[in-house]
Structure 1
């Protein structure tokens, strides 16, 4: 963990949609996730950083099926030139979207990633960002997931906090994954 983390130029908020953070299907740490994400959003907006809300278009019948209550973004999107919503159909927020072009146009070289699910969309988006050469910060307390149920005769249940930790650990050699959300600082990228 870096003592004084370098500022990042963009915040990617992954799939913080009603289905994942409210009601019976909410991730166990939804309250903490929302608190940390709100803090990140506030600081990113004040600094003039790029903010991108990824919104997953789930399959028919899924909790995040487009245009259903669970599909809606939970946190408000601020109007303005540095904040946008990008819809996606894959775990990876870069796959078949304009995310890469948006970040390139703004001159972004570093970003923080937060949201749900740690081992799926958050990790996939962070991995592609790393592969594309971005400096990636994954605050350990600003991504969450579900418990993994037991597989009788194979494995015990795995608590969500452990799943999130393992997902972050899997990319820890290349990304700063230990920084708490409160320590993430932002700055405007040169193209904004």
Structure 2
């Protein structure tokens, strides 16, 4: 059974950066995340939807420090007006950026969100989009995070898949969570 999802006019790819999706330090099951993110990206481009690559500028010494190989976006950006990069320093992709104005100018009412980390930047950006009146679709198979290590006296380790599901649940009943990215349709801004 597939979830019925109405079309969205924009795709927000959250922090799909080399440090988080490739190599030994990649999120668990990064291949799955990338497969579904690429599918969303290809279909958004084909439909004429707005594509926004959010790129986190980490602090000095971090895996995503600007200018380092880990900071680079993993999925190539097409150079045209319907695909842009928005750099950020906070978990919320709207905080201190032009993302809100960009979506407004494009007439976007509904967004699909994918990327990393489920409980941090993905959830914060989805929550902020909801607060700004956007319809938000968060495909379950298109976001990921790391395992939470055990902490003596607090909890056992928490698997990444559980952390991602809890992050979805924490967004409440306004966010739409289809099981599969393939079930998310796109339309150009101002339509759908």
Decide: shared fold, TM above 0.5: yes
Matched, 1:126 2:126: yes
What's the offset of the Cα at 1:153? 2.2
Residues 145, 160 of structure 2: 8 Å contact kept = yes
Cα shift at 1:154: 1.8
| Structure 1 residues 4-83: aligned runs within 5 Å | 4-83=4-83
Deviation track 1:69-110 (CA, whole Å, cap 9, x = no partner) reads 000000000111100000000000000000000000000000
Tell me how far apart the structure 2 counterparts of residues 168 and 108 of structure 1 sit (CA, whole Å).
22
Q: Distance in 1 between matches of 2:180 and 2:3?
A: 11
Aligned-pair CA distance for 1:29: 1.6
Query: What RMSD in Å do the two structures reach over aligned CA positions?
Result: 1.3
Q: Distance in 2 between matches of 1:131 and 1:116?
A: 20
CA distance in 2, matches of 1:120, 1:2: 27
- Give me the TM-score of the superposition, normalised by structure 2: 0.97
Alignment partner, residue 150 of structure 2:
150
The alignment's TM-score, normalised by the length of structure 1, stands at 0.97
Shift of 1:172: 3.7
Gaps of 5+ in 1: none
Q: Is the 8 A contact 1:135 1:175 kept in 2?
A: yes
Q: Does residue 106 in structure 1 map to residue 106 in structure 2?
A: yes
1:159 corresponding residue in structure 2: 159
Distance change (3 Å), C-alpha of 1:84 and 1:131: same
Structure 2 unaligned segments of length 5 or more: list them: none
Q: Which runs of 4+ in 1 moved over 6 A?
A: none
SS at match of 2:141: coil
